[in-house]
Structure 1
Amino acid sequence: MEKFLKRKTSSGNNSTPTTQRKVDLDDLPSDPSDRKRISQFHPNQIDEVRRKYLLKGSCQPRGHDFPRRMIGNKGRRFNPTWFDQYGNWLEYSVKADKAFCLCCYLFRDHCSGQGGNDAFVTDGFSSWNKTERLAIHVGDINSCHNRALKKWEDLMRQNQSIAVAFHKQNDIVKNEYRIRLNASIDAARFLLNSALPFRGHDESEESLHRGNFLELVKLIGNQNEVVGKVTLGNAPGNNQMVAPSIQKDIVHCFAQEVLKYIFEEIGDDVFSLLVDESSDISKKEQMAVVLRYVKCVIVKERFVGIVHVMDTSVVSLKSAIESLFAEHGLSMKKVRGQGYDGASNMRGQFNGLKALIMRENSSAYYVHCFAHQLQLVVVEVAHKYIEVGKFFDMIATLMNVVCASCKRADMVRESQKEKVQEAIGNGEIETGIGLNQELSLGRPGDTRWGSHYKTLKHLVDLFPSVIEVLDYVENACDKPSSQRQANDLQIFFQSFDLVFYLHLMLHILGLTDSLSQALQRKDQDILNAISLVKSTKRELQQFRVDGFCRLLEKISSFCKKYDIEMVNMEDVYVNQKNRRQRTNITYRHYYEFECFNTVVDMQIQEFGDRFDEVSSELLTCMASLNPLYSFCDFDPSKLVRLAEFYPDDFSDEERRTLEHQLRLYIDNVKQDEIFGNLKGISDLGRVMVETRKHLAFSLVYRLLKLALVLPVATATVERCFSAMKIVKTSLRNRICDAFLNGCVICAVEKEGLAHVTNEDVMTRFQVMKTRRERL
C-alpha cells in the first residue's frame, strides 16, 4: 500500500509521521509537559495509551507548594481548589508550572483556537489571573472539550462497545467468567503474599504448564466443585484466565491497589524519602524508594516501588523520583527528610541527589543512615590503626582458608558439636530451648550491619575447632600456599596479640551492635536515635576509664583455657620488629596506653565526627520536645527556632502564635500525670492524640510530626532489596521490570495487600484493557 499511497501526517506545528514504534506503556511520562502528542503514538496503540492514562488519572499534585509569580501588580499562583471545581480533567505540571486538560489531550478533535484549546493541550495554561479561561475552555455542550469528555466516557464504558455487542453474553457465561477470574486472583494473592514464583523455576512462558499459578488454580477447583467445573471444564481453551498476560495484569492490579492504599494514607501530609541502589541477580541496577510518614501518631515506612535506572547519575535518579511522584500525585515540596546509605552519588555536597533535592526544597534535611555509620566506624578504625588492620586482615585470611570448602566448614561444625556434647556430659554447660545452637564462621562485610561482631563472636565460640581445622590443612592439604597460610594463622592464633585484639574489638563491636539493632526499628525517631548514640559514647568513655582491668581478666581466662602464653604485664616491653631496640616501658603501658586507649579514642572520635551529619542546631532544637524527666529539656525559644527551619509549614503569624501556645502547653502537660512517664516523642504524640490535646495545641503537634518524620536508618530499603532477591533469583532472572516491581511491592507491603479485596482487583482488571468477557 505504501507504494501507491502516501501516509498522512498529523496536523500542528510538531507534525511527525503517524507511524511510530510501539512504546512501553509502563514508561509513559506522568507530567503533562513531558508527554508527546497522542497522534505521535503508533496508530494501533493509541487506544491502549488513552486507557493507560485514564487509569493513572489526572496529574493532580494537591500537596504541592505551588510557586507564586508576579502577574501585573499582584502575586498569582495555581489554586488547588480548581482540581475539585473542574473535576478529573484538569492537570498541573510541576516542571512547567502550567495547567493542562487530560481529556482534550487524549480525544480532542483538531479544532484549534476554541476556548484556549491549544494552550490546554500543547503549550499549557499559566495565566492565573484569568480564571475565566477555565470555564471558557469547557464551553457549551458541543464544545471540543465536551466532545472529548464524551469520548472519554465511551471508551471507559466497555459494555456499550461494538466488540461486546458482537460477543453477547448471558448471565450464566458472566457468572462462569467471574468464578474463573476470582480463582485466578486468589491464586495470585497467595503467590504474591508468599513471594513465590508464578510460572515454574525460570518465570518463562514456556514453563506455564508446570508453574505454581496453574497448580493453585487446579487446587482451588478441586476444593470447590463448582469452581472446578467452571475453571477446568466448561471454559474455552483461550479464556481460562491462566495465561501469562493475565497473570501480569492481575499482579499489576494488586500492586496499584496497594499503592493506592499507601498514598491515600499519606494524603497531603509531609513525608521523608529513603532511597538506595542495588543490582538484581541479572546485574540490572534497581533503585528502591521508601516513604516515611506519620499516620495516627504511628510512624510508617512504606515501600512504593523499584525503579530500573539505566544511568546511575544523580540527574537520572532525581528524574526517576520525580516521575514516580508525578504518577501518584506527590510533590517534592512535601519532602521533609532524606535518608541514604552515604554513597557519593547520593549524598554529595555539591552534585549529589541530596544537594539537588535541597536546591528545590530547603526543608528536606539529609540524615546519614545511623546503622551504616556504626559499621563505617569499625572500618575506619581498621584502616587507621595498623595493628587492628592487621588483625582484620588475618581474620579475612582465616575465612579464605577455613571456609574455602564445604568439607572444612563441616569439620568446624562437627568438631564444635563433639565438644558441646562432651561439655554437656561433664555438666559444664546448661541445656535448654535455644541453647547450644550449631554455629559457623561468616565472612565479615563492610556494608553488612553487625557482620564483624557476629564473625568475632563465633570465632571465640569455635576457637578450638578452628585450630583443629588449621592443623588439618597444614598437614593434609595438597596446596603449598594453603599450608603456608595455615601455618602462619596457627602461629598468629597462638599469640597474645590475637587474644588481646579479639576481645578488645569484640567488646567495642558489642556496644555498637546493640545500638545498631535498636536503630533498625521502623518506629525509631530521631531523638531516641541521638539519645542512644550518646549513651553508647558514654559507655565507650566509661570503658576507656576502667575497662582495661576487666578486659585483662577475660584475656587471662581465655589464654589459660586454650594454653596460650600470657604476657607478664610488668616485664619490659620488647619491640617485635626490632628486638635489639631497648624500651623503657612495660607491657602493661604498651597495651593499655598505646593500644587500648588509642583504639577506644579513635572510636569515640569517629562517633563524634560521623553523627554530626544532621545540623547540630536542628537536633538541639528537637531535643526540647523530649518528654523525659518531666520535660527538663523544654525550651520555648529553641522550639520557635525549630519552626523557623520549616518555613513552608509555619507562617510568620503561626510562629508568633506558637510562642504563646508553647507556654500554655508545657504548663498543661506538667499538670497531667499521664505525661509523667513518657519515654520519647513517639509516646508523647500518642498520648496527645489520646487526650485530644493535639487539637488544642495543633502547632506543637505539627512540630512533633516533623521530628518523627526524619529518617533514622535505611533498614526498610535493605529489607526491600532482600525481598527483591527472593522474588528474582538466579533461576528466575527473566522477570521483566514491571512484573518484578509488582511482585516486590506486594511481597513487602503485606498490610496493604491484605486491605485489597478481590472486587477491587476485578474492577481494575476489567477497565485496564478491552476484555472479551464482561462482568
Structure 2
Amino acid sequence: MRLQIFGKVSLAEQLDENYRIGIRRHNEEVIKNRHILSRIIDCVKFCGAFELALHGHDESESSDNPGIFRGLVDFVASLDGVLKEHLEKFKGTSKIMQNELLECMLSVAKEHIIKEAQSSDFLSIQVDETTEIATQCQLVLVLRYIDAKSNVQERFFEFIPLHSATADSIATALKERLAVILPEDQKSKLISQSYDGGSVMRRSTAGVQRKIQDVYPNAHYIHCYAHELSLIMQQATSHIPKVRIFFSDLGGFASFFSRSPKRTDVLDKVVAQRLPNPSDVRWNFHSCAVNTVFEYREDLIRCFETIQDSGDFDLITIREARAFAMLLEDQDFKFFLQLFHNIMPHVDLLYTKLQKKDIDSDHIKKSIQQFQQDIKKIRNSLHSLVDQSSADGPQVKRRRSLSPEVHKRIAAEVCDTILRHTMERFSFTNHLVSATLLQGDRFEQFKITFPEDALSRTWKAYPVFNGSKLKTELSLIYCKEDFRGCCGAVDLLQLFMENNLEEVFSETVTLLKILITTPTTTTEAKRCFSTLKRIKTFLRNNMNQEMLNALAMLSMEKKLVTEMTDFNQKVIEKFASQNGEQRVEFLFK
C-alpha cells in the first residue's frame, strides 16, 4: 500500500471533498484567466502584425488617447463578456505586462524556428547590416531551409545590435547565434552564407565569410545575385560619360517638381503622373524614371510649356522649364531614352526573378542566359534604333550634337558592358557548379558524355555525398525521358516526393536540397530592414532591443504565428512558468 501511494497525494486529502471542490474551482478560474490572457495575446499579435504602436501617451482610465492596444482591448471586451467582466481585476494592459507577453511570444516563435532548422537537412543564412533611426548599427539574421512539408522557408530570426561593423564583431555575433541554432554535431548542416558583397563580408582572408567558414567548413560564400545585377547596371550607366550625363539630366525632372508645390500641381493637372524621386541607393529608380519620361514625354513638354506661359512662376522656374522642354526635344536625349527604354524591361524582369525565394541555381542560369540573349538582340538591332531616332521629325539644333555613328557606338558599348559584366559577375563558383548536373535541357547530352568534372567538384565542395551512388542515380536520370521535362531543382524534388522516390534517389535528393537551400539573394534581409524602419520610427526610437525583435517577429512571421494553432497556449505556458505571485492563476492543479 505504501509503495502504491508513494509520492502521491495523501489518502486524507483524496478523501477530502472540500479539497477536491477547491481544486475544481481553481482549475475553472485558471481556464477563465487563460481565456482572458489569450484574448490579450490576440490583441498584441494584431498590433505586431500590422506594425502598430502598442503604448499610448496616457493609458489611464480617464485618458482620451490611450493608444491602439488599449483601444483594441476595450473593443474586444465589448464583444467578449468574460474579458469585460474580468478586465478590471486582471491588469493585462499595463506596459510591463505587454513587454512580458512580447518576450514570451518572441521566445515561442524562435523556439519553433530553431526546431524547424534543426530538423531540416541543410541550413543557409542571409546576413545584412544597416543603421536605424537611433544611429544603432543593426545586423539582421535570416535562416533559409526546407521544412518538413518540403517547402522553402526564409525565416527572420533576430536583429543583432553591433557596436562596430567590423569583420570581427559581425563574425562573433553570428557565431554566438549559430551556436544556439545548430548544436556541435550539426555544424556540417550550414552549407552557405549570403551577404551583399561588401569588403568586410566577402574578403577571403579576413572577411566575415572566411571567419564563419573556419568554424563551419561547408558554409560557402554566396554574393547576392540581385546586388550583382545592381552593380552591372551601375557600371553600364556611370562609366560612359554621355550616358552618365543622360541619367543626371533624367534625375533633374523629379528634382524640378519636388522643389515646389505649385510646379507639382501643374504636373498633376497636365500629366497626371508623378515622377519617381531620384535615389543613389536604389538603382531601379533609373528604370522607373526612364519608363515614366518615355511614356509621358509629350505631356511633360506641354507641362513645361504651361509653366513658361503662366505668369504665376518666377524667372528662374521659367528658365528651368524652358531648358527641360528643350532637353525633351533633344536628339541625343531622345536616343538614350529610347535605348534604355528597350533595355530596362529585361533588367526588371531578371531582377524580379532574382528576388523570388524559391528560385534555384538552375533557374537563375536559364534566366541569365535569356537576359543575355535579349541584350544581344537589342545590340544587333541598333542600326534600326539609330535610323528611327534620326527620322523622328524636326530636331532641336544643339551645339556638339552626336552623330548617328557615335550614337550607335555608345549604344553598342552600353550593351557590351552589360553582357561582359553579366558573364563575369554571374559566373558559377565551384560549389554552385553542381547546378549543371540537374539542368533538364542538358540531360540528353549528359547521357552520351557524363559530366565527370562537375561531379568531382560537387563532391569536393560537399563531402557528404557518396560519389559512386550519386553517379549511378544521375546516369539513370539522364537516360529517362520522364525527367527531362522538369524545370529546375524545385520541380524535380517535388516529383521525387510525390512518387516516393526519395529513398531510391537518396543522393540526388540530397543534392537537390542543397541547391534549393542555397540562397541566391539577400532580398529577405532587405525586406527585414523595411520592416525595421516602419517599427522603429522617429517617435519610437527609444524602443529596447527585445521589444524590437518581438514586434519584428510578429510582423515578418505573422503567417507562422497564425499557422501555429497552439501558439497562444505556448505563450501562456511560458508566461505562467515565470516567477511571480500572479502566475499561479494560470497553472492547473
CA–CA separation in structure 1 for the residues paired with 2:270 and 2:161: 47
1:411-426 paired onto structure 2 within 5 Å: 411-417=266-272
CA–CA separation in structure 1 for the residues paired with 2:345 and 2:327: 23
Change (3 A) 1:587 1:708: same
**Does residue 1:749 correspond to 2:557, yes or no?**
yes
Give the C-alpha shift of residue 202 in structure 1. Answer: 11
Cα pair 1:636 1:663 within 8 Å, conserved: no
1:758 paired residue number? 568
1:513 paired residue number? 348
1:424 paired residue number? none
1:445-460 paired onto structure 2 within 5 Å: 445-448=279-282, 450-460=284-294
Letter of the 1:312 counterpart: A
CA–CA separation in structure 2 for the residues paired with 1:575 and 1:621: 56
Gapped regions of structure 1 (runs ≥ 5): 1-168, 418-438, 568-573, 578-585
Give the C-alpha shift of residue 710 in structure 1. Answer: 1.7
CA–CA separation in structure 2 for the residues paired with 1:607 and 1:449: 16
1:173-188 paired onto structure 2 within 5 Å: 173-188=29-44
Secondary structure (helix, strand or coil) at the match of 1:366 reads: strand
Cα pair 2:59 2:66 within 8 Å, conserved: no
Cα pair 2:58 2:65 within 8 Å, conserved: no
CA deviation map 1:462-481 (0-9, x unaligned): 32343344446667687766
Instruction: Name which of structure 1's ranges 288-297 and 694-703 shifts more when overlaid on structure 2.
Output: 288-297
CA deviation map 1:406-462 (0-9, x unaligned): 332232122124xxxxxxxxxxxxxxxxxxxxx311124343252211111111223
CA–CA separation in structure 1 for the residues paired with 2:313 and 2:269: 22
**Does residue 1:266 correspond to 2:266, yes or no?**
no
Pairing partner for 2:172 from 319, 325, 346: 319
Pairing partner for 1:496 from 331, 334, 339: 331
2:52 paired residue number? 196
Give the number of the structure with larger relative contact order, counting CA–CA contacts within 8 Å between residues 6 or more apart.
2
Cα pair 2:362 2:435 within 8 Å, conserved: yes
1:283 paired residue number? 135
CA deviation map 1:647-704 (0-9, x unaligned): 4423xxx22333334334444xx16x4x342111110011011111111121111111
CA–CA separation in structure 2 for the residues paired with 1:207 and 1:311: 42
CA deviation map 1:156-201 (0-9, x unaligned): xxxxxxxxxxxxx945654553343222112112112222211137
Give the C-alpha shift of residue 739 in structure 1. Answer: 0.3
Q: Percent identity over the alignment?
A: 23
CA–CA separation in structure 2 for the residues paired with 1:203 and 1:266: 40
CA–CA separation in structure 2 for the residues paired with 1:326 and 1:769: 27
Change (3 A) 1:642 1:666: same
CA–CA separation in structure 2 for the residues paired with 1:368 and 1:618: 13
1:658 paired residue number? 470
1:246 paired residue number? 97
CA–CA separation in structure 2 for the residues paired with 1:309 and 1:201: 30
CA–CA separation in structure 1 for the residues paired with 2:520 and 2:64: 43
Cα pair 1:180 1:240 within 8 Å, conserved: no
**Does residue 1:720 correspond to 2:531, yes or no?**
no
Pairing partner for 1:546 from 354, 362, 381: 381
**Does residue 1:588 correspond to 2:444, yes or no?**
no
Give the C-alpha shift of residue 208 in structure 1. Answer: 11
Change (3 A) 1:687 1:468: same
2:499 paired residue number? 691
**Does residue 1:711 correspond to 2:519, yes or no?**
yes
Secondary structure (helix, strand or coil) at the match of 2:539 reads: coil
Change (3 A) 1:618 1:322: closer
Change (3 A) 1:208 1:700: farther
CA–CA separation in structure 1 for the residues paired with 2:217 and 2:387: 51
**Does residue 1:599 correspond to 2:393, yes or no?**
no
Letter of the 1:275 counterpart: V
Instruction: Name which of structure 1's ranges 481-490 and 758-767 shifts more when overlaid on structure 2.
Output: 481-490
**Does residue 1:229 correspond to 2:85, yes or no?**
yes
CA–CA separation in structure 1 for the residues paired with 2:45 and 2:115: 21
CA–CA separation in structure 1 for the residues paired with 2:64 and 2:97: 12
1:152-191 paired onto structure 2 within 5 Å: 170-171=26-27, 173-191=29-47
Letter of the 2:571 counterpart: V
**Structure (1/2) with the larger helix percentage:** 2
Cα pair 1:548 1:596 within 8 Å, conserved: no
Pairing partner for 2:254 from 369, 388, 399: 399
TM-score by length of 2: 0.86
1:255 paired residue number? 106
**Count of residue pairs the alignment pairs up:** 551
Give the C-alpha shift of residue 274 in structure 1. Answer: 0.7
1:576 paired residue number? 400
Change (3 A) 1:394 1:771: farther
1:649 paired residue number? 464
Secondary structure (helix, strand or coil) at the match of 1:445 reads: coil
Secondary structure (helix, strand or coil) at the match of 2:503 reads: helix
CA–CA separation in structure 2 for the residues paired with 1:203 and 1:499: 60
Cα pair 2:254 2:277 within 8 Å, conserved: yes
Larger Rg: 1
Cα pair 2:297 2:328 within 8 Å, conserved: no
Letter of the 1:415 counterpart: V
CA–CA separation in structure 2 for the residues paired with 1:498 and 1:385: 15
1:334 paired residue number? 189
Cα pair 1:470 1:489 within 8 Å, conserved: yes
TM-score by length of 1: 0.66
Change (3 A) 1:552 1:768: farther
CA–CA separation in structure 1 for the residues paired with 2:404 and 2:386: 12
CA–CA separation in structure 2 for the residues paired with 1:360 and 1:328: 14
CA deviation map 1:491-538 (0-9, x unaligned): 322210010011111211221111111111110111111211111111
CA–CA separation in structure 1 for the residues paired with 2:475 and 2:130: 48
Cα pair 1:198 1:212 within 8 Å, conserved: yes
Change (3 A) 1:207 1:701: farther
Cα pair 2:196 2:522 within 8 Å, conserved: yes
Give the C-alpha shift of residue 369 in structure 1. Answer: 1.5
Secondary structure (helix, strand or coil) at the match of 2:165 reads: coil
